[in-house]
Every structure is written in C-alpha cells, then in structure tokens.
Structure 1
C-alpha cells in the first residue's frame, strides 16, 4: 500500500489538485542560433561554459539556476556566460536539447 492509497482511505472525499500543464522551460525564450557549449581548464580545474544566448538576461539566469540544480554542481553567471564547475558538456547538451534549444559543442 503506497502513500496515495493511505491518503485516499484517510480522506475519501478529497479530490487531489491536478497541476495545469506547466513546463519549467516554457517561460524561457528559445532562439534560432545555437548556444555554444565549450570546455576549458582554469587553474587546473575543468569548467563548462555556455554562451551565445541573445534573449533576456533574466531568462539566462533562470536557465543557469536550473542547470546547476539538475546537475547538483556549483557555477555562476557572469558576463552573459554560464560557468558550470566540471566537465558536464554531454549532460548539459542533452538537457538543453530536451528544452528545445540548439546547442553547438566547441573544443575537445
């Protein structure tokens, strides 16, 4: 017996709310030009850099926050670039393609 069944027994007249079809990435503007995903080493540590987004800065910041959360890594947003700690090019490209972005891998 899972949690849903237990809750139905406790509250038989309750109708669970169904969230409307809300996509987290739906409010982020998708561009035609590809986002450039490249790999660098700074002070001997690998980083992944995303650049080339020409939408609103706030949208790019939201995208940076979402990527850092999904990958459980640190990073920052500086000078219209997303900097992610570590080499996560393949995972980032997969996430962005699922959201509908065009992504171009540069270097290595």
Structure 2
C-alpha cells in the first residue's frame, strides 16, 4: 500500500488571515514566493491609451509597461487616480483610471521621470 504525500495538501484558507499561498504557506497578502518573480520586464517606455471596449461606452485611461512590483504599482495607481480626481484600479500590471485623462496621466508620469508614449488613436 502506497502512502500519499502531503506536499500537495495543507491549509488553503484561514478564518483569521483569509487565503493562504500553497507555496510558502503564508497569507496571500504576505506571500514571499511570488513577490520575487512578479516584477515585469519592460522596454522602459510607459504606454498610455484610452479604451471604451466592453465598458458600455465609458472611457478608461490605461497605463501599461510600468516595470514596478505590485505594491509600488498600486501606489503609483493611487497617485494617478488622485491627480485626475477619479476612480480606477490596478489589474494584471495595468493601471486603469476611469475617464479620459490621457494628457493628465502622461504629464504626471513625465514629472516622475518616466518615458511616456501615447498608444492607440
């Protein structure tokens, strides 16, 4: 009779801390195994575009190509949203700012020293 290995099992949710990382067994917010490999590699150019697809005709300003870790990216997203006086989010390495704020976002990023290009039409 073969014994099952316990390496695939373990705690996946805790009522105190929420979801647990299967790799390092820490809460997702304090995960150490994914943070080292989560920094994206870009070409050094931040691309800012405006999009309305799938949003009921509402415009959203997208910021792509910022090579920062997720925590710093969220902080930059917060700065850009507050500079535009608008809401938004950070999803999969892309900062979304509600509304058509391409020029304002580009000016704010250039003031912080990023190389910025307008993408799209």
Mark yes or no: TM-score above 0.5: yes
1:34 aligns with 2:45: yes
**How many residues in Structure 1 have an aligned counterpart in Structure 2?**
78
Report SS of the residue matched to 2:59: strand
| Cα shift at 1:32 | 6.4
Q: Does residue 1:91 correspond to 2:110, yes or no? A: no
Superposed CA RMSD:
1.4
Segments of 5+ residues of structure 2 without an aligned counterpart are 1-41
* TM-score of the two chains, using structure 2 as the length reference: 0.61
After superposition, give the CA deviation of every residue in 1:14-64 in whole Å (9 maximum; x if it has no partner). xxxxxxxxxxxxxxxxx8611110111022100100011122111111000
- Superposition misfits of 4+ residues, deviation over 3 angstroms: none
SS of equivalent residue, structure 2 residue 50: strand
> Which is bigger in relative contact order (C-alpha 8 A, separation at least 6)?
1
Q: 1:80 — aligned with what?
A: 93
Larger helix fraction of residues:
1
